[in-house]
Amino acid sequence: MSDATPSGEWSRSADARRQYNLVGGIILAVAALGLFVWSFWVNNPVPLPVRSSIIIFFAVGIAISAGLLRVQNPQDVYGGMALILLSLTALVASNDLPGMRGFAFGPGTAPRLFAFLLAILSLGVVVVGFLKRGPDITGYKIQGVVFIIGSILAFAACIRPLGLVIASFATVVICAAAAEDGKWRETLIVAIVITIFCSFLFPYGLNLPFQLWPRFW
């Protein structure tokens, strides 16, 4: 599944890595800060261990960005930190749910149990990432992410008010912009073909309740 080089060699220069950690650490710290502030907004007081974990998380983030902690395996460190953040968020979010009543589970018991276990295991991943050298995270393809995600969101936004024809045409055109070797004329032809195909297949061929055109009339 992974494209990472198994050799564990770092592919970035020392400067680039420092910058990556600077930004990455700040993102982690800011997210922790946001979670901390939010933990005062929820109804029940969040227990002290959770709050102090958030503070420690914040400190680790700062330490990473300042270069005090040497990130040996960025994949493990950032991956594990993100999962810890997820479990802390879950602990805060499930805080107001009632827990055990006698020996019966409450609605909050299982989520907190899973979140707690996730935090412990993710901590293991992070610690390993600080100790054992591993490959750098290869660069993200921003163009792909922006246009693909944009096209999906466009579909979600258009399908109700504008109908299937416009939604699918818009989605295909936006989506095609994600490719580097795209040509406009080709894209338009493909989009028209796909749109016609979809507007016949789903409402007529499969009898699914799709509205084809905008609801003006």
Residues numbered 29-48 forming contacts with other proteins, rule: CB under 8 A? none
Minimum CB distance to other proteins, residue 207 (Å):
5
Minimum CB distance to other proteins, residue 113 (Å):
9
Q: Token pair for residue 210? A: 């799709």
For tokens 């420690």, what's the residue? Answer: 56
Residues 47 to 66: which contact other proteins by CB under 8 A?
Answer: none
With H, G, I as helix, E, B as strand and everything else as coil, classify residue 101: strand
Q: Which of 49, 67, 186, 214 binds other proteins (CB under 8 A)?
A: 186
By beta-carbon proximity to other proteins, the closer residue of 130 and 202 is 202
d(CA 111, CA 97): 10
Residues 132 to 151: which contact other proteins by CB under 8 A?
Answer: 137-138, 140-141, 143-145, 148-149, 151
Q: Token pair for residue 208? A: 């699914």
- 3-state SS string for 107-141: CCHHHHHHHHHHHHHHHHHHHHHHHCCCCCCCCCC
d(CA 79, CA 2): 14
Pattern of binders to other proteins over 164-183, x per CB under 8 A? x---x--xx--xx-xxxxx-
What's the chain's length in residues? Answer: 217
Residues 70 to 129: which contact other proteins by CB under 8 A?
Answer: 75-76, 78-80, 82-83, 86-87, 90, 93-94, 97-98, 102-111, 114-115, 117-118, 121-122, 124-125, 128
User: Rule CB under 8 A: is residue 196 a binding residue for other proteins?
Assistant: no
d(CA 55, CA 130): 19
By beta-carbon proximity to other proteins, the closer residue of 32 and 115 is 115
